[in-house]
Chains A and B, each alone.
Chain A
């Protein structure tokens, strides 16, 4: 029996090793590319004899990449904060008051989660031209908020369902209004789900390409995804620098992920539509 368990553990570890190798290989290849010079024609699987950081220097030259990371960070921070506030505010009545109106609203929000951004981008672009939102941060922020909100409201609604209604009722008897209940009772207990909401919606905005492509057309306003596109467009022959830029763009996410992986996993489970 013991021998069988040891063999089982060995098989599981070997199998995992193979799976890890398959999943990590494209990232490994990209890193190797980033560390090699352009004139190094060895196989992309083989690490360079003398690794160079020139590609990273080249990718960072002119500060455009850093600017794009900064732009993205600003958009993500502002949009995510507002998504949290508006999401929590809307989640409260939807979880607590089962009126016809709130039920219809919940259903419509689920619908919005399915809207493919590209299917509305032509009219959305036209609308933003009219209100002068093209090439502005507020334009992209307001779209990021709108399309991030359904997930946030959905997660807050589910979470508030798990807070005992007895607390609300006690507060109501104590003379709290339905609005102060939200600030006194509900808001203080939202911390755990807020971490998940922030990570999930923040990452989505960080990774967005479609809205940003249409709204931010000036080079100065480029976000990470738009910036990376310029490294890889046809005519750019320096693939090693492109690989370095791509590594730099992915790095912040990996760092955040390694520190907060618990919340990532929780976020996926929390946001799962049942």
Chain B
């Protein structure tokens, strides 16, 4: 960038010196554990004893015949992709409703975004009072409407959907903010020109708004997806992975394999898998959305 002068530090030297603290931290606390994780995943270590033996790829072979892992993998996909889908829909709808000024706009934006900055674990506890079987607030409404009480979190498949919905409601505010910023960046004259050409609201939405929002969609999709696939606290506070192991995410499964089953080797194998999976998904989604973005320009 700058012309070389005698006695002036080279670009690479500046990069190295200024980023050194960050790089050291990343090596010691990200790279080393990743490598150690791979190493542990090749053993039968129980997490505390001194001796263990290497058992090759046994832990990885076990993954795909282990109903617990397969269930957690399936759930993680529902938590990640399900929440992302609904967060995108809700986020766009909320953004459209709340972009222009009216009396309740500020309050609505504040309330919708508020839970996004509360710990996932706490959000789960907040919802606990809603979805409890006995005296839960939702069952009060169900009974008032003449229905029979529902055991919201008592059945695995239903609980997975409920957790996904809680996650959606909780984080759709983040998507909303990104979409409002996206909407604000669309020049008014596009709509004016379309109106002159006689395009109705619906046509304007699909012809102008959506294509212009694609960069915002890329951003928010990646954010929501990575967040959803990493889900941990919410599962712990709502169901703890139960009933049985039916609502575990990959993250909460790792935790219980390590703490409850004391199977650190296998837990590490699930960890390595989770890491590789999330990386691969992010790269593919980024590549796909970048292509869309380029096509929309």
Task: Point out residues on A near B: beta carbons under 8 Å.
Answer: 9, 12-13, 15-17, 19-20, 22-27, 29-30, 33, 41, 43-45, 86-87, 89-90, 92-94, 96-99, 101-102, 105, 108-109, 111-124, 126-127, 142-143, 145-147, 149, 153, 165, 168-169, 172, 177-179, 182, 203, 206-210, 213, 224-225, 228-229, 232, 239, 242-243, 246, 249-250, 253-254, 257-258, 261, 264-265, 268-269, 272-274
4 A-B pairs with the lowest CB-CB distances in the bound complex, closest first: A207-B119, A123-B36, A119-B271, A118-B251
In the bound complex, do residue A29 and residue B275 qualify as a contact, i.e. CB atoms below 8 Å apart?
Answer: no
In the bound complex, do residue B40 and residue A122 qualify as a contact, i.e. CB atoms below 8 Å apart?
Answer: yes
The smallest beta-carbon distance between B137 and chain A, in angstroms, is 4
- Interface stretch of the complex, out of B53-61, B149-157, B220-228: B220-228
A-B contact pairs, 14 of them (CB 8 A): A16-B97, A26-B137, A29-B129, A45-B141, A90-B19, A112-B26, A113-B226, A117-B232, A119-B254, A121-B254, A121-B255, A146-B25, A207-B121, A242-B125
Specify which chain B residues have a CB less than 8 angstroms from the CB of A228 in the assembled complex: 121-122, 125
| Contact for A116 among B8, B174, B278, CB less than 8 A | B278
Could you tell me which residues of chain B, from 83 to 118, have a CB within 8 Å of some CB in chain A? 94, 97-98, 102-105, 107-108, 110-115, 117-118
- Which chain A residue lies CB-closest to B3? A172
In the bound complex, do residue A122 and residue B140 qualify as a contact, i.e. CB atoms below 8 Å apart?
Answer: no
Specify which chain B residues have a CB less than 8 angstroms from the CB of A264 in the assembled complex: 113, 117
In the bound complex, do residue A45 and residue B140 qualify as a contact, i.e. CB atoms below 8 Å apart?
Answer: yes
Known: A12-B97, A23-B115, A99-B15. A123 touches B105 (CB 8 A): no
Tally of chain B residues near chain A (CB < 8 A): 95
The complex places the Cα of A6 from the Cα of B233 at a distance, in Å, of 44
Task: Point out residues on B near A: beta carbons under 8 Å.
Answer: 1-2, 8-9, 11-12, 14-19, 21-23, 25-26, 28-30, 32-34, 36-37, 39-40, 47, 94, 97-98, 102-105, 107-108, 110-115, 117-122, 125-130, 135-137, 140-141, 169, 174, 177-178, 181, 215, 218-220, 222-223, 226, 229-230, 232-233, 236-237, 250-252, 254-255, 258, 264, 267-268, 270-272, 274-275, 278-279, 282
In the bound complex, do residue B108 and residue A122 qualify as a contact, i.e. CB atoms below 8 Å apart?
Answer: no
Specify which chain A residues have a CB less than 8 angstroms from the CB of B111 in the assembled complex: 19-20, 23-24
In the bound complex, do residue B118 and residue A207 qualify as a contact, i.e. CB atoms below 8 Å apart?
Answer: yes
Specify which chain A residues have a CB less than 8 angstroms from the CB of B251 in the assembled complex: 116-119, 210
Specify which chain A residues have a CB less than 8 angstroms from the CB of B118 in the assembled complex: 207, 250, 253
Known: A97-B11, A142-B29. A274 touches B215 (CB 8 A): yes
In the bound complex, do residue A89 and residue B112 qualify as a contact, i.e. CB atoms below 8 Å apart?
Answer: no
In the bound complex, do residue A116 and residue B230 qualify as a contact, i.e. CB atoms below 8 Å apart?
Answer: yes
The smallest beta-carbon distance between A225 and chain B, in angstroms, is 5
The complex places the Cα of A3 from the Cα of B90 at a distance, in Å, of 29
The complex places the Cα of A114 from the Cα of B80 at a distance, in Å, of 13
In the bound complex, do residue A97 and residue B1 qualify as a contact, i.e. CB atoms below 8 Å apart?
Answer: yes
In the bound complex, do residue B104 and residue A101 qualify as a contact, i.e. CB atoms below 8 Å apart?
Answer: no
In the bound complex, do residue A203 and residue B117 qualify as a contact, i.e. CB atoms below 8 Å apart?
Answer: yes
- Which chain B residue lies CB-closest to A44? B137
Known: A44-B140, A120-B271. A179 touches B119 (CB 8 A): no
Specify which chain B residues have a CB less than 8 angstroms from the CB of A41 in the assembled complex: 135
In the bound complex, do residue A93 and residue B30 qualify as a contact, i.e. CB atoms below 8 Å apart?
Answer: no
In the bound complex, do residue A120 and residue B25 qualify as a contact, i.e. CB atoms below 8 Å apart?
Answer: no
Sample of 12 further A-B pairs with CB below 8 A, known A93-B14, A99-B12, A127-B36 = A15-B97, A19-B94, A41-B135, A44-B136, A93-B19, A120-B30, A206-B119, A208-B119, A210-B251, A239-B129, A254-B114, A272-B219
| Contact for A229 among B97, B108, B121, B130, CB less than 8 A | B121
Would you call the interface of chain A mostly helix, strand, loop, or mixed?
Answer: helix
The complex places the Cα of A239 from the Cα of B229 at a distance, in Å, of 30
In the bound complex, do residue B178 and residue A26 qualify as a contact, i.e. CB atoms below 8 Å apart?
Answer: no
In the bound complex, do residue B110 and residue A96 qualify as a contact, i.e. CB atoms below 8 Å apart?
Answer: no
The smallest beta-carbon distance between A38 and chain B, in angstroms, is 12
Specify which chain A residues have a CB less than 8 angstroms from the CB of B23 in the assembled complex: 105
| Contact for B103 among A13, A116, A268, CB less than 8 A | A13
In the bound complex, do residue A273 and residue B223 qualify as a contact, i.e. CB atoms below 8 Å apart?
Answer: yes
Specify which chain A residues have a CB less than 8 angstroms from the CB of B272 in the assembled complex: 119
The complex places the Cα of A108 from the Cα of B15 at a distance, in Å, of 15
| Contact for A165 among B1, B9, B140, B230, CB less than 8 A | B1
Specify which chain A residues have a CB less than 8 angstroms from the CB of B98 in the assembled complex: 16
The complex places the Cα of A273 from the Cα of B293 at a distance, in Å, of 14
| Contact for B237 among A94, A147, A178, A232, CB less than 8 A | A232
In the bound complex, do residue A225 and residue B103 qualify as a contact, i.e. CB atoms below 8 Å apart?
Answer: no
The smallest beta-carbon distance between A242 and chain B, in angstroms, is 7
In the bound complex, do residue B130 and residue A122 qualify as a contact, i.e. CB atoms below 8 Å apart?
Answer: no
In the bound complex, do residue B232 and residue A210 qualify as a contact, i.e. CB atoms below 8 Å apart?
Answer: yes
In the bound complex, do residue B232 and residue A123 qualify as a contact, i.e. CB atoms below 8 Å apart?
Answer: no
The complex places the Cα of A19 from the Cα of B113 at a distance, in Å, of 12
- Which chain A residue lies CB-closest to B177? A268
Specify which chain B residues have a CB less than 8 angstroms from the CB of A117 in the assembled complex: 230, 232, 251
Among A145, A169, A272, the most chain B Cβ lie within 10 Å of the Cβ of A272
In the bound complex, do residue A89 and residue B19 qualify as a contact, i.e. CB atoms below 8 Å apart?
Answer: yes
Specify which chain A residues have a CB less than 8 angstroms from the CB of B117 in the assembled complex: 203, 207, 253, 257, 264
The complex places the Cα of A208 from the Cα of B230 at a distance, in Å, of 13
